[in-house]
Amino acid sequence: MEETGGLRRRLRRYWAMRKDPDESAMLTASLSFFVNAAIGVGKLLLGIGLGSFWFVVNGAYYLLLCIARGRAVGQYRRALAMDGGARQALERAVTRHTGVFLILLGLVYALTCLRMYLHGDSTVYRGYMVYLVALVAFVKMGFAISGTLSARKRNSPIVTAVKVLSFADALVSIVVTQCTLLTFKNSPHAVTSSALFGLGVSGLFLLAGLIMAIRGRKSAGK
């Protein structure tokens, strides 16, 4: 009976978190942390085992994303226990650090896309995996757009930082989807066109990261 009661309390706490937009965003980010960690470690080990620079860099991208998300979620929990100036200072620091991580993500992803463009390296999916990749990408993008709009209304810098990272993750998934679908259709320029698209996305990461880093630094200087 005690175990049943404990399970019910955990379920009630879970649904209460789901009803709060900020808590829901942190819960999703926490789950994504473990997914990104598994993908990153897997690709890194595969790259080392195969001697593949592409897999190593791709794994590094996911691990950076994992670290950025984990740090933001952890700082959000700390901020809940703070008030006034201390909380604002922490939020500014998270904004600044997330900007730095975005710049690093942009650089690493640019290397991945440059490798794709020059050497044609990419992960090729077949059969039903093509549709699964596309579904995951569009679901990620839908949640990222919805979450970004919600974060603007909530005016929470840390939640906004998490949503920016989710949007970055979704954009990379869209690039992968484009490459997957074009390869599935036997397009001769599937990899090169997707690599160029990815380089454009990398540029967006660099720009967004620079803006966040500068904004956090300026706020800290006030």
Domains and CATH numbers, the chain: 2-220 (1.20.1510.10)
Extract the tokens encoding 12: 């009630």
pLDDT digits (tens, 9 = 90+) for 14-42: 444 445 666 666 777 777 778 878 888 88
Q: What is the DSSP string of the chain?
A: -HHHHHHHHHHHHHHHHHHSHHHHHHHHHHHHHHHHHHHHHHHHHHHHHHT-HHHHHHHHHHHHHHHHHHHHHHHHHHHHT--HHHHHHHHHHHHHHHHHHHHHHHHHHHHHHHHHHHH-------THHHHHHHHHHHHHHHHHHHHHHHHHHHT-HHHHHHHHHHHHHHHHHHHHHHHHHHHHTT-TTHHHHHHHHHHHHHHHHHHHHHHHHHHHHHHHT-
Express each pLDDT in 83-98 by its tens digit: 778 888 888 899 899 9
Cβ contact 68:87 at 8 Å: no
pLDDT score for 101: 92
Handedness of CA 189, 184, 64, 51 (dihedral sign): negative
Judge contact between 91 and 170, C-beta under 8 A: no
Which one-letter amino acid corresponds to residue 100? V
Q: What is the pTM of this model?
A: 0.78
Mean pLDDT estimate for the chain: 80
What's the confidence (pLDDT) of residue 27? 74
Structure tokens that stand for 111 in this block: 């290397």
User: 207: pLDDT confidence band, cut at 50, 70 and 90?
Assistant: very high
164-187 pLDDT tens trace: 888 888 898 888 888 888 888 888
pLDDT at 10 over 80: no
Please report the sign of the dihedral spanned by the C-alpha atoms of residue 36, residue 39, residue 43, residue 44: positive
